[in-house]
Amino acid sequence: MKVSVVVTTYNRRQSLERCLASLATQAFPREEFEVAVVVDGCTDDTEEFLRSYVPPHPFRWVSQSNQGQPTAQNTGVAAARGEIVILMDDDCICDAGLVAAHCDMHRSGERLVAIGPLLLHPDSPAGALRDLKEGLWAREFDRLSTLGARPSDLALCANSSIERQAALDCAFDPAYKRMHDVEAGLRLWTRGYRPTMCAGAVAYELFTKSVAGVLSDSRCQGQYEVLLAQEYPAFKPIAALVRINEGSPLRRWLRKQMATYARASEFVLRAVYCLA
């Protein structure tokens, strides 16, 4: 087995179905890759769907009590049989060439983490929040395509791949409920691993989170960024918290107003976003 795609899921049965359907149409020899799904304590009908799911490639799924994504990903990597593991979220739709692109990238060298582009799926609900995410990811895609990956991109995030043994040796720390992918990347950097842009491995995220969900995630991310900066001083200059104060005084002020009044009406948010 050359490649294992590890997908972790929690109560997103419909998006998981679309993710798995996209993996079932990969332009890669079916006998040379597998998909391993880790059900992290789902309470919806995810398990019922998986019991009847029969793809054209090797497929397995395991279920565990809800322990969070870091532990679920560790479970998936441990269960994987491929030489290379691709980490994928359950709300990602993969291009047909994704697995092949990741596999080809690892033929080019050792001690690398391949980072594939993650773009916004057109089926994501419209609104100011989608516009904000779409603009951010489009800029990231342009930067990665033109300038390549930089040290701050070394993270075992969605649509990234690494040798399975390296993922086992540098397992995710379950103490980090957020930013665990970045924390693992910081440890991998000290071991000589470097991020590499894998332009052909494109995935699209079905972004459906509410404003309240994004605010909750952002507060949690901010807390763990502070912890990361304390544990890894080299991380502090590249933390997202630092970028809050980039740009002109007007742009910084407008961004902060969006964060402060994130529950304002769609009309107000869109106007402030356009100005910013």
| Average pLDDT estimate for 41-50 | 96
Tell whether 276 is covered by a domain: no
217 falls within a domain: no
Whole-number Cα distances in Å, 247 to 143, 236, 276: 17, 18, 10
Residue 264 covered by a domain: no
Using pLDDT thresholds of 50, 70 and 90, give the confidence band for residue 175: very high
Q: What is the mean pLDDT of residues 95-103?
A: 97
pLDDT tens by residue, 212-254: 888 888 889 889 999 999 999 988 888 888 877 778 898 888 8
CATH number, domain containing residue 14: 3.90.550.10
Could you tell me the pLDDT band of residue 97, with boundaries at 50, 70 and 90? very high
CB 23 within 8 A of CB 84: no
Average pLDDT, stretch 68-95? 97
- Report yes or no on 248 lying in a domain: no
Residue 141 buriedness (CB in 10 A; 0-12 / 13-18 / 19+)? middle
- Looking at residue 166, what is its pLDDT? 96
Q: Is residue 270 part of a domain?
A: no
> Average per-residue pLDDT in the chain?
91
Average pLDDT rounded to a whole number, residues 95-112: 94
Res 134 pLDDT > 80: yes
Taking phi over 0 as left and psi of -120 to 50 as alpha, with beta for the rest, 227 belongs to alpha
Number of domains the chain is built from: 1
126 band by pLDDT with thresholds 50, 70 and 90: confident
Count each helix (H run) and each strand (E run) in the chain, helices first: 11, 10
The reported pLDDT for the residue numbered 138 is 81
Q: Which domain holds residue 82?
A: 3-208
pLDDT at residue number 11: 95
Stretch 103-132: mean pLDDT: 89
Q: Is residue 40 part of a domain?
A: yes
Residue 222 lies in a domain: no
Phi, then psi, of 110 in degrees rounded to 5 = -105, 170
The reported pLDDT for the residue numbered 84 is: 98
Cβ–Cβ under 8 Å, residues 64 and 78 = no
pLDDT tens by residue, 176-224: 989 999 999 999 999 999 999 999 999 999 998 888 888 888 889 889 9
pLDDT of residue 153: 83
Residue 37: inside a domain, yes or no? Answer: yes
Q: How far apart are CA 173 and CA 175, in angstroms?
A: 5
pLDDT of residue 29: 97
